[in-house]
Amino acid sequence: MSLKLVILGVLDHHKVHPYDIKRFLKHYKWDYLFQISDAKIYYAFESLEKGGFVKVSEVVENEKTPTKTIYAITETGRAQIEKELEKVFKKDVLSYKVIYPALLFFNYAKKEKLLQLLDTRYQKVKKELTRSIEQAEQSDENPSESITSLIIQNAIKHLTIEVEWLMDLQHKIQKNELQPQVSYEIEHFFSN
């Protein structure tokens, strides 16, 4: 899961309470990228704190609301962002949505490293596409309307689009055509 990456990326711009991450993700509809729950968010913060990637910045006490712990990123946490980004790109190629949060923070990776990660993923997806096409050819004895055939056809369509998208993405990054918007969105959200 790339929730840690998102937390570190947000904290690199703004100190936050864990619940603010949930509000932020929902506000920009990024909760579509992965399932989030209070428990997962608090667990991620706890894990990041134990690893020395985040620290308590301030504890806000108010008579009318529960105590609120505000976190900040550490230098170790800043260094961890690129490592978390790399982990995401190495995840299962069939789980296409897993790289979306990493792409939000793509500017934390060196351009050459990012292109290498994307190319590695591209090669894996392409290999899976070839394997799926071979599987479809081998199952020609099955009727074309069998559920197995339909599943393989669907996989081929998805993988074909993913290969094209990854190629286009690499091209845009090589030509410096992508601008990270997440910094603006973080600043805009937390300045209100």
Give CA–CA dist 53/82, Å, rounded.
Answer: 12
**Contacting residues for 16 by C-beta, under 8 A, at least 6 apart:** 10, 24, 70, 71, 190
Place of tokens 């793509």: 106
Phi, psi of 3 (to 5 degrees): -60, -40
- What pLDDT does 168 receive? 96
- What pLDDT does 117 receive? 92
- What pLDDT does 99 receive? 84
Q: What is the largest CA-CA distance in the chain?
A: 72
- What pLDDT does 112 receive? 94
- What type of residue is 121? R
- What pLDDT does 32 receive? 60
pTM to 2 decimal places: 0.69
Here the tokens at position 165 are 């998208």
Give CA–CA dist 141/148, Å, rounded.
Answer: 12
- What pLDDT does 125 receive? 92
- What pLDDT does 97 receive? 76
- Other C-beta atoms lying within 10 Å of the C-beta of residue 137: 9
19 with 38: CB under 8 angstroms?
Answer: yes
Q: What is the pLDDT along the chain (192 residues), one digit of tens a residue?
A: 588 999 999 999 999 999 999 988 888 777 766 678 889 999 999 999 999 999 999 998 888 878 889 999 999 999 999 999 888 888 766 677 778 888 888 888 899 999 999 999 999 999 989 988 888 887 655 556 677 778 888 889 999 999 999 999 999 999 999 887 788 888 888 887
- What pLDDT does 70 receive? 94
